[in-house]
Amino acid sequence: MFTLDDFRAAVKAARVPSVSGVHCCRQAAVAVVVREGCQGLEMLFILRSEHESDPWSGQVSFPGGHVEESDINVRVAAERETFEETGLDLGDAEFLGRLPVEKTSRRDEALNLDVFPCAFGSFRRTSLRLNREVADAFWVPLESLADRRARIERTMHWDGRDVAVPGVLLPDGHWIWGLTLRVIDKLVDQLRTATTTDGWR
């Protein structure tokens, strides 16, 4: 079972370089927030509201959004967006570091983003307050996301075409796939390397 100490070690082992000032794409920041629960580490996800103008409409993701000019760095952007979307104040959380940048892949290059995942350990159990961009928010045991043998494929309509993609089907019917799943998989790989728990070697 993963612990917060394992998570700290995994983020540290990622050794992500500092953010340069030049980017060919727009930037977004997401918050990868974990807390310790009765089943080990739990990770926070949101379900985005259905909206025609949102390319990620109705999808499960980490809280986050576009980096604004007023944000001094991607961490601040992740904290701001998380508070706006869920009411969770990450100023009270432990900032653990950044994870490797992910790039979206769209046929319309104007829609592509450099996505910066920022990791936090949350210690307060507080009620979430969702804004209109978020239909739901929930915590998922990280252990339930780590078993890749449990993945199933589903056909998704994405970027104007139907594609078969692997993902995780949660008990409540929510589906985790794509960029969000890539972040999880890379993090789990780091956790398995960093952990001292024999069961995860």
Q: Kindly give, in sequence order, each residue whose CB lies less than 8 Å from that of residue 86, ignoring residues fewer than 6 positions away.
A: 44, 46, 63, 128, 129, 130, 134, 137
pLDDT digits (tens, 9 = 90+) for 110-138: 568 899 999 999 887 888 999 999 999 99
Q: How many CA atoms lie within 13 A of 146 on its CB side?
A: 18
Where exactly are the structural domains of the chain? 4-148+177-194
pLDDT digits (tens, 9 = 90+) for 70-80: 999 999 999 99
Low-confidence stretches of the chain (pLDDT < 70) are 19-25, 55, 106-111, 196-201
Entry pTM: 0.89
8 A C-beta contact, residue 64 and residue 48 = no
Distance, CA of 30 to CA of 63 (rounded, Å): 6
Residue 163, pLDDT score: 86
pLDDT digits (tens, 9 = 90+) for 173-187: 999 999 999 999 999
CATH superfamily of 4-148+177-194: Nucleoside Triphosphate Pyrophosphohydrolase (3.90.79.10)
Q: Which residues pair with 117 in a beta bridge?
A: 30
